[in-house]
Amino acid sequence: MKTYPKLFGLILFMIMNISQAQELELYQPTNKSAFFQPYDSVPEKSATIEFVGQGNLQESFTSQSKIPVNTGIGVQFREYLDQQAWNQHNGYLFLYGIEVEVIINVASTRDSLVAEYENDSTISNNTIFGSSVLTPLNSGRSGAINLRGYFREKLCWGILSGFETHFLGSSLDYYLKDSKLQATIIDYNFNLFHEFIPMGKRDQYSITFGIGLNARNIGGDIKSKEDQREMIFHTKERFFIGPHVKVGLRLKNLKAELYNNWLYPNDNAIGLTGNQIITSISFTGGFPLKLE
């Protein structure tokens, strides 16, 4: 619960800075009755690629362990159309801009989990194992691919600005009393979102609200160990899927995200299924290269 004041303080700080940005005015739709709403203006064409280092804090509110810290390296690519390309319908099909990020974690304060026992057969710290599936980025052996696309026209009467998707994989070691099991976690996420920041500022700032689907899959050595999975997670299931609501904030190189997840089947997998809240705060620094 200590994450609440830190997260809300960060949200307030970002909103205050964005509101003071020069010529920053939120988009006001001109035709609220139209399903397809064109933008009032088109940004200047820009394309950048950036090689970055990233620090990340990601944790669920139900986790009973210390917040893990992760560091990684990667590359970011952003490209937006200009007026000429827009008029000629060049670009990425129905999109006017895309953002792609590839990150590989190289170090983490959590690469393995050790089971604690109340007696000879009952694990007492199940929550951290469930959270390791819910937040798989918390591993030095993990990587992520993130993609964001902005629609040429805002859909659903100006509500939908674009889509986001990410694919993440990680590997963790689970140490039980008499064995060591390797777990491979796959995290897939897709959502449609509304962007509150106008088009010309989106390379630096972003405030989004999105709704979508997310899924987790458990593989590796533990895939074939049903009894151990039930002892660790209180379920023999390996695949979980459900809806989520996301709030995303970005102030230049600082990014914060909050997810409210519902994962099913709800087999009482502590720290994983049912209603779970995840927070993520990351800082990215690197050297951008502007592409002609």
Band of residue 120 on the pLDDT scale cut at 50, 70, 90: confident
| 2-11, 55-64, 105-114, 191-200: least confident range | 2-11
CA distance 193 to 139: 28
Band of residue 153 on the pLDDT scale cut at 50, 70, 90: confident
Band of residue 16 on the pLDDT scale cut at 50, 70, 90: very low
CA distance 150 to 200: 12
Question: Cα–Cα distances in Å, from 239 out to 12, 184, 236?
Answer: 36, 12, 10
Determine the average pLDDT of the residues in 27-55: 61
């459900």: which residue's tokens?
A: 242
Do 180 and 173 touch, CB atoms closer than 8 A?
yes
Question: Cα–Cα distances in Å, from 261 out to 55, 189, 255, 275?
Answer: 23, 11, 19, 6
Indicate if the pLDDT at residue 135 is higher than 90.
no
The pLDDT tens digits of the residues spanning 175-201 come to 998 889 999 999 999 999 999 988 778
Q: Residue 40: exposed, middle, or buried by beta-carbon count in 10 A (0-12, 13-18, 19+)?
A: exposed
For residue 134, give the nearest of 236, 57, 239, 60 by alpha carbon. Answer: 60
